[in-house]
Amino acid sequence: MRTYQKVVVSILSAMVVMIAIVTGYGMKVLSDANKAVDTISQQVDRETKKREVAVSFGNKDPFSILLLGIDTGALGRSDHGRSDSMMVVTVNPEKKQTTIVSLDRDILADMLDGVTFDKLNHAYAYGDVELAMDVVEKLIDVPIDHYVMMNMQGLRDLIDAVGGIQVNNKIDFTLEKVHVPAGKITLDGKTGLAYARMRKEDPEGDIGRQRRQREVITKIVDKLLSLDSVSNYQKILKAVEKNSRTDLVWNEMLDIVTNYYPAFENIEQAQLEGQGEQINGIYYQILGVNELLKVQNLLKEQLEIPTNEELEIDPQFQYSFNGFIGNQFYDDRDYSSVESVEETFYAQ
């Protein structure tokens, strides 16, 4: 059985670096940061289908970013890889709040070719960042405005660049000869990467791992926003420059620095999870209708988009065998207040 190479992406890493830099340094640092951003900026050949008017950072519009952690760049992995860590981040300057929602890599999702349903993390392998953004956008029913991608080496270098992060580790474990003891400890890049990747020894499996991934993200953000990290700006820029990609450009990042700073100090975390099912001998996470709707509405509220009372499902996928809805969802709605489950189910 192959060992999955895991990684967690640092939240809006390039933008947070800009915030720290502008806070503490002058034109020389800004020039270095500008060059780093030029290196990592890579536009995508797609537009969100969920907006009629593009987001304006100058007008302080709420926006979303898809964070992709790619399982390459370290541990001997150099192929195209998969997005084995996926998170949707919404930033609302009016509410002064950032929301991070983890998406399980095994979620059964529509690959948008009319025939293929596969694991969510396969979208990146099939069609790079563009397809990953489109698949996630359809799944969670909110616009995906931008992306930030980082590989495993980037995470490791970034943790080292900020001087390590402190965590309260609940599980003593060793992963690929890297020992991470239980208790309050400081993680360097090597142990931090293991902390973000470990799954098998966690009683909660992927859910526990994703919780630790979000913890690593928030810890890195805390360090990046501190004055102590500004003194290490060259190491931070190097970590980001070599191992990251984003479609954000320099002027957009400066607008975010100016208009969104307080929102990064208040981070809310959530998890989109379903139930495990074997389909043709392959493990998938099948999402419940209510669970997905709850997360969709959470993100819509942050983006100031109208919420829905019922999950919208493509008519061609309305019903399928074994109680599954739309080939990718199961019915977890509460029927305790209705007389007939079947009458409610088929009345839609």
> Beta strands 146-151 and 63-70: pairing type?
parallel
How many CB atoms lie under 10 A from the CB of residue 137?
21
Of 120, 2, 5, residue with least CA distance to 71: 5
pLDDT of 298:
97
pLDDT of 3:
29
CA angle 3, 220, 164 (to 5 degrees): 80
pLDDT of 194:
92
SS3 193: helix
pLDDT of 2:
31
Using the Cα atoms of residue 50, residue 52, residue 57 and residue 62 in order, give the sign of their dihedral. negative
DSSP assignment letter at 266:
S
Using the Cα atoms of residue 114, residue 119, residue 120 and residue 123 in order, give the sign of their dihedral. negative
pLDDT of 21:
47
Longest dimension (CA), the chain: 70
pTM given for the model: 0.80
DSSP assignment letter at 310:
S
CA angle 239, 190, 84 (to 5 degrees): 75
Which residue ranges in the chain fall short of pLDDT 50?
Answer: 1-14, 16-24, 73-78, 321-322, 339-348
By CB atoms closer than 10 A (0-12, 13-18, 19+), residue 75 is middle
pLDDT of 24:
46
Does residue 237 contact residue 244 with C-beta atoms inside 8 Å? no
Q: What is the pLDDT of residues 84-100, one digit of tens each?
A: 789 899 999 999 999 98
Q: What share of the chain is helix, strand, coil (3-state, %, to 5)?
A: 40, 25, 35
User: 104-123: string of b/e by CB count within 10 Å (b at 16+)?
Assistant: bbbbbbbbeeeeeebbbbbb
> Beta strands 97-103 and 267-272: pairing type?
parallel
